[in-house]
């Protein structure tokens, strides 16, 4: 069985190796390394800011998880019918993404699901598949 031996050009060999930049805390004025993530605010947090976030009366009930376990933020897309509303729901019956107004008006008795949750789950599945491919 012959193995593929890729040709590496001199230009590629001489390129500098660029390391990954660490993630900074998303709290204004804080530049510490992010280890946590608030799934409600969609904000990366360092350990100290996480503690403050969980003590604050406004954010104490937010879901704060390790950064790797965060929910992926849904790309913002506006409804074509209600242009001031974001699409954030999927009608399971029709397989159509909707805004909350469309859901209440036209899909009231249909099975609805949170699009952000589905997006996050499928994004994670894709990352897992990519990881498997890289391991192969």
Residues of the chain with pLDDT under 70: 1-21
DSSP 57: T
Predicted pLDDT at 134? 85
* Per-residue pLDDT at 9: 35
Do residues 46 and 25 lie in contact, with contact meaning Cβ atoms separated by under 8 Å?
yes
Q: In the chain, what are the domains?
A: 22-70 (3.30.160), 71-136 (3.30.160.60)
pLDDT digits (tens, 9 = 90+) for 76-94: 899 999 999 999 999 999 9
| 36-38 and 64-66 beta bridge pairing | antiparallel
Whole-number pLDDT of residue 53: 96
């Amino acid at each position: 069985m012959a193995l593929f031996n890729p040709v590496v050009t001199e230009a590629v060999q001489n390129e500098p190796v660029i390391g990954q930049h660490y993630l900074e805390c998303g709290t204004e004025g804080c530049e510490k390394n992010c280890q946590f993530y608030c799934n409600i605010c969609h904000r990366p947090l360092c350990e100290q800011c996480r503690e403050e976030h969980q003590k604050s009366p406004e954010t104490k009930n937010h879901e704060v998880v390790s950064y790797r376990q965060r929910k992926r933020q849904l790309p913002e897309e506006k409804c074509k019918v209600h242009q001031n509303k974001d699409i954030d729901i999927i009608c399971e019956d029709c397989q159509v993404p909707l805004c909350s107004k469309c859901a209440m008006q036209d899909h009231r008795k249909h099975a609805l699901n949170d699009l952000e949750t589905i997006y996050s789950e499928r994004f994670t599945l894709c990352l897992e598949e990519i990881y498997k491919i890289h391991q192969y």
